[in-house]
A and B are shown apart, each in its own frame.
Chain A
Amino acid sequence: MTYDIAIDGKSYRLDLNRAEGGWSCRVDGREVAVDAVLARPDVLSLRIGNQAYEVKCERVAGEMHLWVGSARFAAEVRDPRSLRGRVRAVDDHGPRKLTAPMPGKIVRVLVSQGAAVEAGTGVLVVEAMKMQNEIKSPKKGAIQKILVSEGAAVNAGDVLAIVE
């Protein structure tokens, strides 16, 4: 199996296959001796040569993060065969979604539908754990839609408004 693996945005080619009860592994074409034991779900004990590592996997809101010691890496795994047609990098053109950064309650909607906003204009206020977090517009434009009302409960990742 060949993967393209992006660690904090930088891509690496990984060839990983099972071999005689273990793994055969090449990182960017270089052979690496790997011995892996799944210690428990989301925790991998790895030996690379004789160096021992414990790797923790965190899966939240569709994203995967790996912890090696106290270093945290954003990891994205792609099958290179399906690379075509992948999403473009987000740019400033076109509508942008404002999403809830955490579960909480909408305590205030600061602008109305159709209002013109600058980048950084506060659009909504979400409250969780006695703290209020202002959700700001990521770009200059107009509020195309407000999808929540004051008092609504939201989950992390919910789309709250759209700026175009």
Chain B
Amino acid sequence: MFKKILIANRGEIAVRVIRACHEMGIAAVAVYSDVDRAALHVRKADEAYPIGAPAASESYLNIQKILDVAARSGADAIHPGYGFLSENAKFARACADAGIKFIGPTAAAMDAMGSKTRARQAMERAGVPFVPGTSRGLESFEQAEQVATRIGYPVMLKAAAGGGGKGMRLVHVPEDLKSALEGARSEAERSFGDSEVYIEKAIMNPRHIEMQVLADGHGNTVYLGERECSLQRRHQKVVEEAPSPIVDPDMRKRMGEVAVRVAQAAGYTNAGTVEFLVDPQKNFYFLEMNTRLQVEHPVTELITGLDLVHLQIRIAAGEKLPFTQDEVVIRGHAIECRIYAEDPDNNYFPSPGKITLLLLPSGPGIRRDSGMYEGWTVPMDYDPLLAKLIGYGTDREQAISRLTRALNEYFVGGIKTNISLFRRILSDPDFRAGRMDTGFLDRLLKQKEAEAPADPKAIEVAVIAAGIFATLGSAAAGAGERPVASVSANNKPHAASNWKIAARKEATK
């Protein structure tokens, strides 16, 4: 087993991996950029090394700097987390060349899945169902026209190197095909330096369901059940759950076996995820494979009782999978909410800043994977994911009610978060009934939230509390700013003496 693992990441996932290391008696090495010195992952690690400027290209994406820290610290393996270098075949190769174990698949497996057209070709050979269309780049407009006519409109044009919605065009009618193809090509060229574009049938309002797989280096590959990830906005997942409300044991088995075939076709090892689009008739089509640990892995952990990061580390260390497919049992239901530093009143724009007050949920069935703490300033340089709140219950209904209860306990002050959005989602009748697709969230957000008139009792409580906070002054203020200017008569912040502060403290006892 490894003695020391370097975690080439930050935020909640770095903390998650450090915890697994400590549980396994392995030392954890953190790296941090200039704005992350005070980050939680640095506080939790056994060793921590600065790797430079905030821009990811100067720090968390800088292969040479990370390998230098691995050498200096004597780490024998690197866990890449998700994002950053986690799906970078060049990095996996550089680790191998440096004699450091990369905890993830081989560079060759990443290459096989990295290009969407190459992945489609591999799936074609392996007999895996994928969305009808071409599995090679389009050579001409005439070819695009022919294929589109054959598979039927609407069609989707997609960049082979694509991701995050870039180089993608939805075409409803033949007249729009030509300009869409030109647009997709030039956007793909600009975004990825590769203008290869292919065409596939557009599946309108599909569900997005993915299958977790694990493969060891001894030829064993298993699936651990699916995750329903249909609730997305801007191509980013917001709520995930396992199992999916529409997948029954038979469908799970069929999807799982296809996912295993996908992994085997790519010579895949370690943890991976096979993404499927599912149409309203429950036909599923291979979309792509994510060659990393997913953000939403905790829901699978809760319903299988397995620890995916422990297993990743064991597999990377050369161990065999400690169980067979038949021994994988799914029990209960888990739902994850991704807590982002985003402002719901400003179109969910990022809201970095200082966390002045943090009250944490706990109790039965609640798991919280977090990278924040009270008094910490969320830097503006990275993804706004702060934490994940996961609710578990014997069934979906109990998972929802526990999560709703925990969201009411959760309070993040000083910055804006999307916590209120989850209250809306979890109480939505369609969500409660398990009716959802990838358009669900956009439709929900388009509806004006029913402006419930404020409860007069709550207003009275607020009036009284405002007066008490004003009277107590700075003695009652936490990690936020000094009491607000408008509190005092002359529009200047209170300059209460220590005596007054002490007296006020006494007064509230």
- By a beta-carbon cutoff of 8 Å, the part of chain A in contact with chain B is 1, 3, 5, 7-8, 10, 12, 14, 16, 18, 23, 25, 27, 32, 34, 36-38, 40-44, 46, 48, 51, 53, 55-64, 66-71, 73, 75-79, 81-82, 101-105, 128-131, 133, 156
Contact = CB atoms under 8 A, between A and B. Distances in A.
Interface stretch (B135-143, B225-233, B391-399, B486-494): B486-494
A76 B486 contact: yes
Contacts of B489: 79, 81-82
Q: Which of A69, A131, A133 has the most chain B CB within a 10 Å cutoff? A: A131
Q: Which of B382, B458, B466, B507 has the most chain A CB within a 10 Å cutoff? A: B466
Contacts of B471: 1, 16
A37 B509 CA distance: 7
27 contacts: A3-B470, A14-B467, A16-B464, A16-B471, A27-B460, A32-B464, A34-B464, A37-B508, A42-B356, A53-B465, A56-B413, A57-B465, A58-B414, A59-B356, A59-B414, A64-B487, A66-B469, A73-B458, A73-B462, A79-B489, A102-B351, A102-B353, A104-B380, A129-B380, A129-B381, A131-B350, A131-B384
Nearest to B357: A42
B141 to A, nearest CB: 32
Q: Which of A3, A23, A66, A81 has the most chain B CB within a 10 Å cutoff? A: A66
B465 A58 contact: no
Nearest to B483: A59
Contact of A25 (B352, B382, B464): B464
A56 B357 contact: yes
B352 A5 contact: no
A53 B457 CA distance: 11
A55 B461 contact: yes
B508 A58 contact: no
Interface of B: 341, 343, 346, 349-353, 356-357, 359, 380-384, 408, 411, 413-415, 420, 423, 454-455, 457-472, 476-491, 505, 507-508
Given A38-B472, A77-B470, A128 B463 contact: no
B384 A129 contact: yes
Contacts of A58: 356-357, 413-414, 480
Given A23-B468, A128-B380, A129-B350, A64 B484 contact: yes
Contacts of B357: 41-43, 56-58
Q: Which of A5, A59, A67, A105 has the most chain B CB within a 10 Å cutoff? A: A59
A70 B420 contact: yes
Contacts of A57: 357, 413, 465, 469, 476-478
B349 A48 contact: no
Contacts of B468: 16, 23, 34, 36, 44, 46
B4 to A, nearest CB: 31
Closest 4 CB pairs of A and B: A41-B478, A129-B350, A59-B480, A128-B380
B467 A46 contact: no
A79 B471 CA distance: 11
Contact of A60 (B352, B384, B414, B463): B414
Nearest to A83: B489
B259 to A, nearest CB: 30
B460 A32 contact: yes
Given A105-B380, A133-B349, 17 more contacts: A3-B467, A7-B463, A34-B468, A36-B464, A41-B479, A42-B476, A57-B469, A59-B483, A64-B486, A66-B466, A70-B408, A76-B486, A77-B484, A77-B486, A79-B489, A82-B489, A103-B352
Contact of B466 (A7, A70, A71, A79): A7
Nearest to A61: B481
A62 B463 contact: no
Contact of A75 (B414, B466, B485, B507): B466
B479 to A, nearest CB: 8
Nearest to A155: B353
B462 A68 contact: yes
Nearest to A66: B462
A53 B350 CA distance: 30
Contact of B463 (A5, A70, A82): A5
Contact of A129 (B352, B420, B465, B467): B352
A55 B462 contact: yes
Contacts of A69: 408, 458
A48 B464 contact: yes
Q: Which of B359, B485, B486, B489 has the most chain A CB within a 10 Å cutoff? A: B486
Nearest to B480: A59
A155 B399 CA distance: 39
